[in-house]
Structure 1
Amino acid sequence: MKSYFKLFLILGSLAAMMTIFIAVIGFIAETSPPIMAYNMAAIAVISFCLSYLYPIFNEKNERRQWIQQKGMTCTSVAVLLYVSFFMLGVQFEWIRLSIVEVLALVTSLGISTLYISFVVLAKVY
């Protein structure tokens, strides 16, 4: 079990370093970070969260199912809020991103919210 913890931490660290590298290149070029940076950030969050969640999700019990159900509920509400915020931001030109960038950002935020909510719920319950 400890080997999975270390593996997920290593993968998360690599993904975080790649995210930072890609974002720095985008900032040096004076543009928004490339779409790939959002995906790599989501992968880093998934890896770090799974390093904590692996022992919990490895067991097939009611606690795991409850955490997954409540996490999906929280994420559904959060994604609706993200979409509403970005729709208003793009419509009133508060956010100057292309639609593809907004979709990538909403997807990455949704994925990150899901796994972070799993960790929070696992710690609380």
Structure 2
Amino acid sequence: MYSRIAYLIVGIMFIFMSGIEIMSSMMVKEMPPSQSYIFFALAIMGFCLSYLFPQFKQNDERTKLIRQKGMYISYFAILIYCLILSFLIESGFLDLSAMQVLDIIVSLMIITVFLSWVVLSKIY
């Protein structure tokens, strides 16, 4: 059912949607809507899954190790993201709503997990 091409098409579709939202917000000199960050993260997820599909299709010990170590690394990265965001918000450098903060954290989580899997697949 699933294939590299399907994941690649999903990635291209989400990068296109994110690009449209970012470009339109730049034209009116506004900040991009926070859901454009999630679309960008989903595009990265699509591209990463397109790259990882042949390796993860086998579902052997190596892929389980990559997934396990990737989630372990991502856990600590997410803790660091939350610490940095809370410091920036508390010190007044960023003025974000709760929804914007959640969208940023979710986007960073998606990007971190899937990029760590790509890096770990190169290592193992």
Normalised by the length of structure 2, the TM-score is 0.93
Deviation, structure 1 residue 72: 0.2
Q: Which amino acid aligns with 2:26?
A: F
Instruction: Provide the aligned C-alpha RMSD in A.
Output: 1.5
Q: Residue 100 of structure 1 aligns with which residue? A: 99
Q: SS where residue 30 of structure 1 aligns?
A: coil
Deviation, structure 1 residue 31: 2.4
Q: Which amino acid aligns with 1:4?
A: S
Q: Residue 4 of structure 2 aligns with which residue? A: 5
CA deviation string 1:78-108 (max 9, x = no partner): 1001000000010111112222101110111
- Structure 2 residues without counterparts, runs of 5 or longer: none
Are 1:55 and 2:54 matched, yes or no? Answer: yes
Q: Residue 32 of structure 2 aligns with which residue? A: 33
Q: Residue 64 of structure 2 aligns with which residue? A: 65
The answer to which of 81-90 and 91-100 deviates more is: 91-100
Deviation, structure 1 residue 28: 2.4
Q: Which amino acid aligns with 1:123?
A: K
Are 1:44 and 2:81 matched, yes or no? Answer: no
- Structure 1 residues without counterparts, runs of 5 or longer: none
Q: How far apart in 2 are the matches of 1:46 and 1:22?
A: 18
Are 1:90 and 2:68 matched, yes or no? Answer: no
Query: How much identity, in percent, do the aligned residues show?
Result: 34
Q: How far apart in 1 are the matches of 2:121 and 2:99?
A: 33
Q: Residue 117 of structure 1 aligns with which residue? A: 116
Q: Residue 75 of structure 1 aligns with which residue? A: 74
Equivalent residue pairs, number: 124
Deviation, structure 1 residue 11: 1.6
